[in-house]
Structure 1
Amino acid sequence: MKRAGILNRHLSGALAELGHGHEVLICDAGMPIPQGPRVVDLAFRAGVPSFAEVLEGLLAELVVEGATAAYEVQRANPEALALLEGHFPELELVPHEKLKELSERARLVVRTGEARPYANVLLRCGVFF
């Protein structure tokens, strides 16, 4: 049994398969999930688990070289924006419709139970060396 880190076997296994340049979408409960990417649905109840909890957990296990979110988060969800900007000073903001298009190329989608709008981010994996 794992001692620490992400215990969900589906999520842990999916993360181990990621390589440089692969993309991971962490999304709220309302984000449309595109056909194609592997999906790990963690949503349990509204707000559980939160976007922040899942983002923090994934960042502890991944090397991330870039992140993209919807610019609508600026007005609709300043808490999520502050969290993202705290981790990604060069956060790229695009229209929400563009983020949905970009999410189609994600290798993995991790759905949270987040019930606040625009709590979504597309992460681009880097390398540790």
Structure 2
Amino acid sequence: MPDATQPAPTPINGPLASRYVDVANVAWEKTRFEGVEWKILMEDKERGLLTALMRWAPGARLPLHEHVEIEQTFVLDGSFEDHQGVCTAGNYVWRPQGSRHEAWTRTGATMLAVFLSPNRFFDQG
């Protein structure tokens, strides 16, 4: 409830308006990787920005790829891992620009991922 001493916020329309996403009504989309789906919450194709809710089935795996820019991941449930460690529910990992790895989950996982630029997968040529 707004404070009676504060004026009501002025609605902002157009490019400066906040974008509220009803995540429950965003459809899960399959990715090209078996067992990996996502809900794209924000995407700016011109700049390469992407924020997605990702869902990995047990045993899902991403092949070797490079992070062109920093990647950030917060695990909501389950866990996923790579050769450097395991990220479990309630924990966060970020990977620096230029880092390379494969990633997989044994248990399945749901995570919020933020990409500043698309990953470079080496099977794309």
Q: Do the structures match in fold with TM over 0.5? A: no
More strand per residue: 1 or 2? 2
More helix per residue: 1 or 2? 1
Which of the two has higher C-alpha Rg?
2
Q: TM-score range by the shorter chain?
A: under 0.3
TM-score, normalising length from structure 2? 0.27
